[in-house]
Structures are given as C-alpha cells and as structure tokens.
Amino acid sequence: MEEAKLLPKDTEAPASVAREQNVTPWSVKGEVGEDGEVKAINYNKLVEQFGTKIIDDALLARFERVTGHQLHRFLRRRIVFSHRDLELILDKHEKKEPFFIYTGRGPSSDIMHIGHMVPFQLAKWLSDVFEVPLIVMLTDDEKYLMGKMDRTVEEYEHYARENAKDIIAVGFDPDRTFIFSDYEFMGGDFYKNISRIAKRINRGTADSCFGFNSSTSIGKVHFAAVQAASSFATSFPFLFGANRLQAAKIPCLIPCAVDQDPYFRLTRDVASQLGYTKPSLIHAKFLDALQGPGSKMSASVEASSILLRDSPKQILKKITKYAFSGGQETLEDHRAKGGDPEVDVSYQYLRFFLEDDEELEHIRHEYQSGSMTTGEIKKKCADELAKFCVSFQQRRSQVTDEMLDYFMTSRQLLYRGVKFDTVLPMLDDESAKSRDQENGKGSESKNQAKKNEKIRLAEEKKRQKTRERSSANTRISSNS
C-alpha cells in the first residue's frame, strides 16, 4: 500500500480538551490547542500523513506550457495544492493519448453551498482545457448508508437529481459530460469492478486507512469499493469500449477535496493488482465555514455556510453576522495594526471566488495595513458572492428535466472534438507501432503518422458536424 500514516479512529475528544486535527472523508476538524482555540487545517501535515506531493512551481509552469492556457485561479493561488501523478496526465495530453476526468458529489440534501462548487468549477475548467470526457458520480447510496435510520432511499434519489441540476448549472458541456447516480446506474461492468475491488481490500487495510472500528456499519466499509470503481475506464464500456485490456490503459484525473484522498489511495493499490492504470489526483483545500479556520461548510448548518439559493440580502446578513474576522477589536487598533487576511473568512472567500489577482492583492494589502476595515471587506465579500449566486441561480432556472435526463443517459462522449470510439483504435495502433519499432518493422515515419492522424481527425470532425444534435445540447454559459 502507498506509504501514508494512519487516520485517527472515529472517536472525538470533548471540545474542551486539546486534540490533533482529524481529516477523514466524513469529518474535518482542525487541531485544538491547550487554550481551547481551534487552529487552521495544517495542509503540509496532511501531505505528509496521506503521502501525497505538493504541486510546486515547476509542475505549475509545465501545466501552463502543456495546455497553452492560463492556470485556473485555484491553481494560481495554491488552493489546489497537492497531487498524485499529475505529471502523468500532462504526459498523456502532450502525446494526445486519451484520459478522462472523474469527480463526484454525495447528495446529503437538496441544498448545495458555495463550497460544493469548488471541485465542479475546477472539473469544468479541466474538461474544457483538456477537451476530455468528464464523469460525475452521485453517491446517493453512500449518503443513505451513512444517514439516520429514519431516512429513506427515495429521499436520497431525489436529492441526487436536484444536486445534478445544480451541477449542470455550473456550465458543463453535454457533449463531454456523463452524470450518474449509484442507485440508478449500479450493475453490469460497473458492479463487476466493484466486486473485483472489494475482493482485494481486507478489513484490516480498510480499518487502517479510514479509522473504522467495531461500530462501523458494513455498508460504510464496503462503500470504498463503490467509490473506487468510477476511477477505471473498464466500468463504462458504452464510453470506453468493451475491450477491457484496451480500456484498462485509459487513466483518469480526479479533482477532489483532500479529505477524499484515502479512498483513492486504496484505489491505486487495487489498480496495480487488477492491471488497471492508477488514477491521478489533484487535491483542493477546504472552504472554511463562516465560523473560521479549522472548520468546513455544512449545508445542514445554515449559519456555517452560504447556500447557492441564498439571496444577496441573505448573503450580506450571514457574512456580516457570522463571518470570522481577522480584524482588531477596535477601529483604532485596526487602523494601527491592520487585519490578518490568513484567518479572515471574508478574505479567504475572495481568494476562492474573486477572479482578478491584482484586485485580490490590493484588498489583501489594504486590509493588512488597516486601511480597509472589517465592515468594508465583509461588504466586498458579500457583493462578490451575491454575483456568483445570482448568476448561478439564473443558469439553474434554465435546467429542465429533459436536460437532466440527457446528461444522465449512457452515451458516447467527445474527446478533442470527436467521439471517443474513434479514438479507441489509436490505442491498438500505438501498441502495434511500438511492437513494430521494437522489431525494426516501422514502415511509416513519425511525420507521416502525424499527418495521417490529422487528416483522420479533420474528416471525423466534418462528419460529426453533420450529425443531428439533441436539443439538450444547448450549453449553459458560465463564468467559472
């Protein structure tokens, strides 16, 4: 198993007692000091604990060079800070070899907050930049298994569809995006992979990775295999072909919050045993709850979060009343000493949602110097979040049941502007060329091969334009 320290067990110390930070797929809690103060999440410690790698300047520079696009603000500002094998995905893109993107959402309610948008904004940008298929998994089964006993399966199925409409409103391209819920999609090759994965994870490994104990339900233990299955192209033969040996070569890139990494650490171990390509990951930091560092937004606690459905008036009220401030106790002290943007919730939200780097730096300088007051930075934050939410609400109002059904229909998706099934023969061709070159039988120069491939793709694009498009293929514009 990939080297990583064990997660703490699923136990909590009393709030008044000092404790280490605890980050699992189900709980995020910052360290509590001897003075009872909750500290910010130590992401360097998570990198060491999980055994991931920091995304450094060299990797960011290569990302920008390979894609030809300015980095997303999450990458520029190190909000996306850690990875597993991102360089291998960049290798694939440079060689024009296929891969896909996979992310997900656990539909615990029909309400989503702005923190939930972070991986989806990033996934949309990645899909647009790389021009590759995106798969979105809605884990309605997980949320039922881990919810209260009086909740029903049907509730979570409803939440999944409502959350899917929110996700579509981010602005995903319907020609490149497939969304599914576990309850609706489970079966066939997807379930076969779940079985293969589950057979290779023993209870001791699961306990060590997730901190399970004797009270953990078998559903929670087994779900690791379900979450892992979407990492493999072999789970989706309608998209990646029925040839398992061929599909097993296609990797995926998973943008997710760092608390989800333990799932995919296990997944990567199992991939080696199954002969599948290991998934690559990039990890995002958490958007703090309104109460400040060391916490995570929760849609079930409205005082902790900005909901996507909130009005500008509600947003301003929440930010004004609840947002933790890095300012001083009095205006006089604030003018003299300035505020601390590193712990100020309003500034941190602006880091996530304000696109302009120069404006963000100006705000940081003004607040840190004391020129900008706590009230002023809260007002600026509320205005930016109101713009984001109002724009989202307008797009969300355009999402119909017919559009949702289209996104959730198993179908071919586009890769670099052509249907994925036209790319699959290239995998066999590349393997054959490699064998021929090793045997001294290469009959075609590299330049001629590139020329022929360029012609083939151009012809396929022409054919693609003549095909009838579904009415659901109308894109929803997005500023993500």
| Residue 123: predicted pLDDT | 97
| Residue 294: predicted pLDDT | 79
**218-229 helix and 261-274 helix, angle to the nearest 10 degrees:** 70
Mean pLDDT of 4-18: 50
Q: Find out whether 213 and 269 touch, Cβ atoms under 8 Å.
A: no
Q: Does residue 332 lie in a domain region?
A: no
Q: Does residue 307 lie in a domain region?
A: no
Mean pLDDT of the chain: 88
Q: Does residue 7 lie in a domain region?
A: no
Q: Does residue 325 lie in a domain region?
A: no
Q: How confident is the model at residue 457 (pLDDT cuts 50, 70, 90)?
A: low
Residue 20 to residues 9, 81, 129, 298, Cα–Cα distance (Å): 12, 21, 39, 21
Q: Residue 433 pLDDT > 90, yes or no?
A: no
| Residue 464: predicted pLDDT | 57
Q: Does residue 57 lie in a domain region?
A: yes
pLDDT > 70: percent of the chain: 85
Mean pLDDT of 301-308: 88
Q: 299 vs 313, which has greater pLDDT?
A: 313
Q: Residue 446 pLDDT > 60, yes or no?
A: no
Which range has the top average pLDDT, 59-68, 440-449, 459-468? 59-68
Partnered with residue 411 across adjacent β-strands are: none
Q: 412 vs 430, which has greater pLDDT?
A: 412
**What is the tens place of the pLDDT at every residue in 277-289?**
999 999 999 999 9
**What is the tens place of the pLDDT at every residue in 350-399?**
999 999 999 999 999 999 999 999 999 999 999 999 999 999 999 999 99
Q: Running DSSP on this structure, what letter comes out for residue 217? A: -
Place of tokens 């797009």: 395
The CATH number for 127's domain is 3.40.50.620
Torsion of CA 296, 302, 303, 306, to 10 degrees: 70
Q: Does residue 96 lie in a domain region?
A: yes
Q: Does residue 378 lie in a domain region?
A: no
Query: Which domain does 139 fall in, by range?
Result: 23-292
CA gap 208, 210 in Å, rounded: 6
Q: Does residue 239 lie in a domain region?
A: yes
Count the domains in the chain. Answer: 1
Q: Running DSSP on this structure, what letter comes out for residue 372? A: S
- H-helix segments, 275-311: none
Nearest to 122 by CA among 138, 104, 110: 104
Q: Find out whether 96 and 81 touch, Cβ atoms under 8 Å.
A: no
Residue 91 to residues 59, 99, 165, 433, Cα–Cα distance (Å): 12, 11, 34, 18
| Residue 293: predicted pLDDT | 82
Q: 219 vs 448, which has greater pLDDT?
A: 219
Q: Find out whether 234 and 250 touch, Cβ atoms under 8 Å.
A: no
Q: How confident is the model at residue 455 (pLDDT cuts 50, 70, 90)?
A: low
In degrees, rounded to 5, the angle at the alpha carbon of residue 225 between the alpha carbons of residues 223 and 226 is 65
Antiparallel, parallel or unpaired: β 53-54 and 80-84: antiparallel
Place of tokens 């696109």: 355
